[in-house]
Structure 1
Amino acid sequence: MPILTEEDRHLVALASSLRAGVRCERSKSKPSGYLIRTEIWFPNGAYHRVRDTAGKVIESKGIPFRRRYTKADEISSILMMIEGMESINRDPKGIETAREFNGRISNPKSYQDVLKAITMLDEFHCSIGQD
């Protein structure tokens, strides 16, 4: 009798293969000049490798399996699925950052909003010991 069920193995594949965090980059299309948002994504190699495992568990929650997730409700659902398994991920601090800022940071409308978001991220990273 297996110790882990098939769904447990799919959750382990999901928790270990995804990446998460807050994306900050310059953008000519945004009024503030920056794109800042919470994201979950699968690196190129992992996306194809876990389609039949992580993809199934994500789809079982009514979320289509994609390379990148940016909607707060989808991110929340995925983070709830892997709660308690952050330590098996390559970047548990990225997951913690996504969990902290999902729904709290939205695309800044002005440069002042950009500064505010960056300050919040900096303070959070300092509090968890991330450089």
Structure 2
Amino acid sequence: MPVHAAPPVLTRTELARAFATHRFAEVYDRLDPDLRWIVDGRPALDRDATVVACESLLGDLAHTVAELLRVEVVEDGASVTVETVTRYVDLTGTTVVASQDTLDFEGATVVAITSYVAEAADPADPVSPAEPAAS
């Protein structure tokens, strides 16, 4: 009878990176029952609403190619912040998004998430909205 190894236990940094890069399923079992997720200052989502929102986002991205352009991770005590810049390409065009997710931990459990998301200039675009062409 084959012996099945238990899946590796992810570190706080690995969990935060997984969440920030849309690998949500890797995080679900580590979400506290009383989790609160605040996105861009909107009212907090509870644990169940967080899972629904993550699954909905994955559905929305099903026909989208996501190219991770930059990832910065900072661990500070019981919090891990991940900043990403991602290029999304689908049939309607290209969008570049900068985001920041801070996951707060108690032990190995995620107790709170705070996220900010903003459209960003595409670094591959020679004339980006952040730097208008000279006239």
TM-score (normalizing by structure 2):
0.25
Higher helix share: 1
Where relative contact order (Cα < 8 A, 6+ residues apart) is larger, the structure is 1
Higher strand share: 2
TM-score (normalizing by structure 1):
0.25
> In terms of Rg, which structure is larger?
2
